Amino acid sequence: MNINIKQLNNENIEDIIPLRISLQKVDFENNLGIEEKILEDKTREFLKENINKDLFMYGVYVNKELVSICGLTIFKYFPQADDLSCKVGYITSVYTKEEYRKKGYQKKVFEKCIELGKEKGIKKFTLSTKNPIAMKMYEKFGFVDDTYAKKMKY
């Protein structure tokens, strides 16, 4: 078995899309509400515009098959007294194909995203999830619940 952990780029977009769509199916309980092809096309467009600009992704390939992904999006904001870096790292698209789970692949790409963020001067990282198993992994990395975060959807 050949295992390769690497930073993903434009050449990997077509490999990323099925995992990202699978993640969306989990998040939306298999009811995307739109045609899957539309979501695939928008995901492809997004990746082409953003990968290795403000979105950085890592993946695990097993025998040339992408089985696990994790992304880091870098957002800029006003300087704050407790953080003059003006950046926050948002962990996104954390997903491993079901048959490859519990092998440590997700932890490896997650660590790569955090390491890259730190290299880029990020001192604050955020993420969101509904997955209690994932929450346990995030807590091991030092993530805590944020009672101040709010969402608005219209």
- What pLDDT was estimated at residue 30? 87
Is the pLDDT confidence value at 2 over 90? yes
pTM for this entry:
0.91
Per-residue buried b or exposed e for 57-80, using 16+ beta carbons within 10 Å of the residue's own CB: bbbbbbeeebbbbbbbbbeeeeee
CB 124 within 8 A of CB 73: no
Rounded CA separation 146/149 (Å): 6
Q: Can you list the domains of the chain with their CATH numbers?
A: 3-140 (3.40.630.30)
CB 28 within 8 A of CB 73: no
- What pLDDT was estimated at residue 135? 86
Banded pLDDT at 108 (limits 50, 70, 90): very high
pLDDT in tens, 60-77: 999 999 999 999 999 999
Banded pLDDT at 92 (limits 50, 70, 90): very high
Is the pLDDT confidence value at 131 over 90? no
Find the helix or strand (DSSP H, E) in which 66 lies: strand 65-76
Is the pLDDT confidence value at 146 over 90? no
Mean per-residue pLDDT, 52-64: 97
